[in-house]
Amino acid sequence: SQPNPYAGYLGLTLPVAVSLSIWAWQRTTVLGRYEPRRLEALRWLILTAGAAGLIGLGMLASWSRGGWLGALAGVGFVVIFRSRRALVLGVIGGLFLVMAVAIGGVSPALIPDAIAQRVADVPAYFGVGIEVVVSQPVTDENFSVIERLAHWIAALRMWESHPWVGVGPGNYAVVYPDVRLPRWEDALGHAHNVYLNILAESGLVGLAAYVMFWTLTVVWLWRLIRAAPGDSWEAALRIGVMGVLVHLTVHNFFDNLYVQGMYLHVALWLAACDSPRSTVIQRDKLLCTSGVEG
């Protein structure tokens, strides 16, 4: 009954699994065929690739559009960052896709009907015809989109009335009856968009503080990535966690992932990136080093 938190949790794990899968695959190609460490790398590859596959299937089955977009961004970041070839191919593929869409070269028949229908109203999330969408008849198919847009508009109205400091932390549901759109009486507790929710409750000051916090976090994590050897397990983990932050950033445009303890999940990932060097990490670093012994 809650596909978005479910997809959010999966999306806060999938980039790490993909990053470690790429690391394990690269180890298997570097190490000699008969080296004992190659067998261990293969075990890692089976474990991480299997986990990534199962998580990806769960993400698809969640039917969460916000989760899909977040996963696409998070995994895309990891894949491109981990491979220069993937970066080049990604840029070229992206350009061809944009050109194909622009000239109408992408046939809807190439996309399964169920998925095509699920993403057909995604442009409404980006402000295309919001007033029209909100005023149209509500059906089972468009309910979730219209409900979100209605709450986004309510959040913007709160922010417009108190642009600098908002209506107060935790007061979204309290003020909601005064700014809500007709037909949408339930406040739901938040605006289904973290950034608009912060604007509504804490204004520009609060949003600036939020952006600064995560900017400093990304800078800190980037330095940890640069400090680790590029082919190490630690670097793969940290790049995966950066992908987690990318998913968090994108998915939070469509929901609030700071629920169900998921903020603790993110905190644990960040802590793991800077944890003391354990014997396990030392073992994995030895696995990453090829041609040193003998």
Distance from the Cα of residue 125 to its chain's centroid? 16
Residue 143 lies in a domain: yes
**Rounded distance between C-alpha atoms, residue 200 and residue 169, angstroms:** 9
Closest CA to 27 of 13, 15, 39, 14: 39
**pLDDT at residue 39, rounded to an integer:** 78
Following CA atoms 219, 85, 66, 195 in sequence, which dihedral angle do they give, to the nearest 10 degrees?
Answer: 20
DSSP 232: S
Q: 277 Cβ partners below 8 Å, 6+ apart?
A: none
* Residue 124 contacts residue 149 (beta carbons within 8 Å): yes
Residue 294 lies in a domain: no
* Residue 156 contacts residue 207 (beta carbons within 8 Å): no
Q: What is the CA radius of gyration of the chain?
A: 22
Residue 268 lies in a domain: yes
Distances (CA, A) of 6 to 105, 259, 263: 34, 11, 14
Count, residues in the chain: 294
**pLDDT at residue 80, rounded to an integer:** 87
Number of domains in the chain: 1
**Rounded distance between C-alpha atoms, residue 31 and residue 33, angstroms:** 7
Q: Which domain holds residue 171?
A: 3-288
Residue 43 lies in a domain: yes
Tokens 């800078």 correspond to what residue?
219
Residue 293 lies in a domain: no
pLDDT (tens place) for every residue of the chain, 294 residues total? 688 899 999 999 999 999 999 999 988 887 666 676 777 888 899 999 999 999 999 999 998 989 999 999 999 999 988 877 666 766 777 676 555 544 444 445 555 555 555 555 666 566 545 666 567 788 887 788 888 888 999 999 999 999 999 999 999 999 999 999 888 889 888 999 999 999 999 999 999 999 999 999 999 999 999 999 888 899 999 999 999 999 999 999 999 999 989 999 999 999 999 876 543 444 455 455 544 444
* Residue 176 contacts residue 197 (beta carbons within 8 Å): no
**Rounded distance between C-alpha atoms, residue 208 and residue 204, angstroms:** 6
Helices (H), the chain: 3-11, 14-30, 36-62, 65-82, 84-102, 113-119, 130-135, 143-161, 172-179, 194-227, 233-251, 262-273, 279-288
**pLDDT at residue 293, rounded to an integer:** 44
